[in-house]
Chain A
Amino acid sequence: MFSLPETTFSFGGDEYIHAEITRDMKIESNFKALAVTKELKRRNIPGIQDVVSSNASYLVRYNPDIISGKDLVEYMREIDFTKSDPAKLDLSVRLIEIPIWYDDPITAEYSARYKDRHPDPTRSNFEFCMKVNGFTDKQAFIEHHSSSPYLVTMIGFLPGTAWHFPLGLQSKEVIQAPKYNSPRMETPERSIGIGGAFNVIYPANGSGSYNLVGMSAVPVFDMSKRLPCLEDSPFLARLGDIWKYRPIEESEYCHIRSKVEDGTYRFNIRNIHLSPLEYVNRGKDYIQELLEDQ
């Protein structure tokens, strides 16, 4: 049931090895990346500096003065082949609620500022995402976008940015959008973006190429230690976690913002057990069950 093609390995310069599981996004590819990188990390090989599990691929950064890149590729191929069974993955993860103010004036302003770099300069990013996904009603778009739970499939871009991908949907039901033709130089902190079939929440102001459709009231990266949940680690996202959006209006957004600022906000978090095998076998039903349980 986890039938995936052979992984393709490619040298990223002299210090990186990129492993492509599939070119298209599949939850199965993501589970495989998670399984292989877990094993690679467990082995703690001297000279391996970073192991990154990505959406449908993974990356290793290594020191070629310590290990040979050619030998490392063969080593990785072996692990990719023998230790990649996602059925054996035991995922104790967290279900986290993310309150979102959709179609807000902040992201609208950034849409306008960088419109020349966008495939459709005549619309705001929010309107563009509605249009390319065939929505004419704003509420219907928000309802569709916020009703699926999202699996955190990759972390990166800026510290704490989590790519998340909807669970339990057929490909054609997934909201998708092309990325900017040329990335913005600025993006508001905590804005939520859609690129391809993925969502991200930008942790800090920086460049960005996803379509901005709203603002998260809660931080995803915070070094200030003011929130208990982000005290031990400033990163909200963990691979395999599930995020669920809750649409909010401006007043609640401002209310939550002030609670975050004074350190009294508490994330709505539930610990759950996610079985990749159950998900692949039962899909939407399993996800529904998972959300209703406990």
Chain B
Amino acid sequence: MIVVKEAGLWTTVQDTGRSGGYHLGVPPSGAADQYSYYIGNLLVANPAHFAALEMTLMGGTFLFHKNTVIALTGAPMKAYLNHELVPFWEALEVKEGDVLTIKECRKGVKSYLCVSGGIQVEDVFGSKSTYEVSKIGGFKGRKLQSGDELSISEPLPGAFKQVGKSAPLEYTPTFNEFQELRVIMGLSSYLVSDEGLKNFLTTEWKVSYESNRVAYRYTGGNVSFTGQHPPFGAGESLSNVVDFAFPIGSIMFTNEKELIILHNDATTGGGYVTVGTVISQDLDLMAQLRPASTSRFITVTFEQAMEVRAERRKQLEIMEEMLLRS
């Protein structure tokens, strides 16, 4: 068991997310930065989908009631085991009675605490991920509060052999204040003028404070719509389309000056102009952008997106080799 002494700003149980409920409006949820989360599970030799804690901007204080192996990954936060500073991206041994204190991060947003055997909560619609808006999954459907007691599994056989293994620096994200995001254009981009699309691609967009697990909002640019009369059923604004089901990562314009990109807790459908979709790998990077940092959008073809996917897979295979089989 882990006792939550301090819960941090927004700490939830997350895993790889759920599928099969999108047609009912149930979004995938799951770790916002899947890459960092996955490396954390690799470090403690967990299967990829075991549940972890996702912390936001500020960690928390956790009392362990079991000897086990943990790893911290994602946005670097100062972390202390009892009073000793411990590194991120490394498998650590904790003993019954140890207190892990995790402070705020100065770069990035999301950090992960992975525990051998995973965090134990009930599966809801096939996943342990928390979807706070509708109180689905995770620990009682909500973010953690002080006093919560989380079940953890027994450490997996062999887990302690992981202690001391670490992810090489070149395989960890860099958490920049500027991030290029790759996009496959399409959907209803025909409703944005050529000039508008040019502005969309040349503007350095700024992350707004209203960004969260549901969506990132950006401002700072100005795109113009084509001025076509909206089709029947859409609504009378030039940004309105007949409501449809959104891909995760889709980029919508609710007006000419604000852009919204859906993330893992997305509203699964709606009726605004969408110009394209950020590829899944880059959604991990977007989730680590702090308010007031900036992004530029780069178009890629479907084939290029598949190459990026293949590269990611190769990278993870190298990491698996390094952390699990050597």
Chain A 148-174 interface residues, beta-carbon cutoff 8 Å to B: 154-161, 163, 165, 171
Query: Contact residues of A with B, CB < 8 Å?
Result: 10-16, 18, 20, 22-25, 37, 49-59, 61, 64-65, 69-70, 119, 132, 154-161, 163, 165, 171, 176-183, 185, 195-198, 203-207, 209, 221, 223, 235
In the bound complex, what is the Cα–Cα distance between A157 and B271 (angstroms)? 10
10 A-B pairs with CB atoms under 8 Å apart are A12-B184, A51-B23, A54-B243, A61-B247, A154-B244, A157-B268, A165-B233, A171-B232, A195-B271, A223-B136
Binding-face segment, B83-91, B110-118, B172-180, B276-284: B276-284
- Which residues of A are found within 8 Å of B267, using beta-carbon distances? 156-158, 206-207
In the bound complex, what is the Cα–Cα distance between A204 and B255 (angstroms)? 25
Residue in contact with A23 in the complex, picked from B237, B242, B306, CB distance below 8 Å: B242
Query: Contact residues of B with A, CB < 8 Å?
Result: 19-26, 131, 133-136, 184, 186-187, 210, 214, 230-237, 239-250, 254-255, 258, 260, 267-272, 277-280, 302, 305-306, 308-309, 313
- Which residues of A are found within 8 Å of B305, using beta-carbon distances? 11, 13-14
B24 and A156: CB pair below 8 A? Answer: yes
B24 and A179: CB pair below 8 A? Answer: no
B20 and A25: CB pair below 8 A? Answer: no
- Which residues of B are found within 8 Å of A221, using beta-carbon distances? 134
How far is the CB of B196 from the nearest CB of chain A, in Å?
16
- Which residues of A are found within 8 Å of B240, using beta-carbon distances? 178-179, 195-196
How far is the CB of A180 from the nearest CB of chain B, in Å?
7
Residue in contact with B233 in the complex, picked from A24, A69, A160, CB distance below 8 Å: A24
- Which residues of A are found within 8 Å of B260, using beta-carbon distances? 183
In the bound complex, what is the Cα–Cα distance between A167 and B127 (angstroms)? 38
A177 and B250: CB pair below 8 A? Answer: no
In the bound complex, what is the Cα–Cα distance between A70 and B184 (angstroms)? 14
- Which residues of B are found within 8 Å of A61, using beta-carbon distances? 19, 22, 247
A13 and B242: CB pair below 8 A? Answer: no
Known contacts A14-B184, A156-B24, A160-B134; 12 further A-B pairs (Cβ under 8 A): A12-B186, A12-B246, A13-B247, A18-B244, A50-B22, A52-B269, A59-B245, A69-B302, A159-B24, A182-B258, A196-B233, A209-B254
How far is the CB of A77 from the nearest CB of chain B, in Å?
16
B254 and A181: CB pair below 8 A? Answer: yes
B22 and A64: CB pair below 8 A? Answer: no
The residue on B at minimum CB distance from A239 is B23
How far is the CB of A128 from the nearest CB of chain B, in Å?
11
The residue on B at minimum CB distance from A183 is B254
How far is the CB of B35 from the nearest CB of chain A, in Å?
15
In the bound complex, what is the Cα–Cα distance between A14 and B311 (angstroms)? 14
In the bound complex, what is the Cα–Cα distance between A61 and B274 (angstroms)? 17
In the bound complex, what is the Cα–Cα distance between A179 and B240 (angstroms)? 7
Residue in contact with B248 in the complex, picked from A13, A55, A160, A209, CB distance below 8 Å: A13
Contacts A119-B237, A171-B232, A182-B254; A50 near B23 (Cβ below 8 A): yes
Residue in contact with B243 in the complex, picked from A70, A132, A163, A207, CB distance below 8 Å: A163
How far is the CB of A186 from the nearest CB of chain B, in Å?
11
A176 and B236: CB pair below 8 A? Answer: yes
In the bound complex, what is the Cα–Cα distance between A64 and B134 (angstroms)? 29
In the bound complex, what is the Cα–Cα distance between A11 and B182 (angstroms)? 14
B248 and A16: CB pair below 8 A? Answer: yes
How far is the CB of B140 from the nearest CB of chain A, in Å?
11
The residue on B at minimum CB distance from A204 is B134
- Which residues of A are found within 8 Å of B234, using beta-carbon distances? 24-25, 196-197
In the bound complex, what is the Cα–Cα distance between A204 and B134 (angstroms)? 6
In the bound complex, what is the Cα–Cα distance between A58 and B23 (angstroms)? 10
Contacts A61-B22, A204-B134; A10 near B231 (Cβ below 8 A): no
Contacts A11-B277, A13-B280; A160 near B24 (Cβ below 8 A): yes
- Which residues of B are found within 8 Å of A235, using beta-carbon distances? 24
Nearest 3 A/B pairs, CB to CB: A25-B233, A12-B247, A16-B247
| Interface-central residue, B231, B279, B308, by most chain A CB under 10 Å | B231
In the bound complex, what is the Cα–Cα distance between A221 and B24 (angstroms)? 10
- Which residues of A are found within 8 Å of B184, using beta-carbon distances? 11-14
- Which residues of A are found within 8 Å of B133, using beta-carbon distances? 158, 204-206
B134 and A203: CB pair below 8 A? Answer: yes
How far is the CB of A73 from the nearest CB of chain B, in Å?
10
| Interface-central residue, B133, B134, B233, B247, by most chain A CB under 10 Å | B233
Contacts A12-B250, A18-B247, A65-B309; A160 near B23 (Cβ below 8 A): no
- Which residues of B are found within 8 Å of A177, using beta-carbon distances? 235-236
- Which residues of A are found within 8 Å of B214, using beta-carbon distances? 206-207
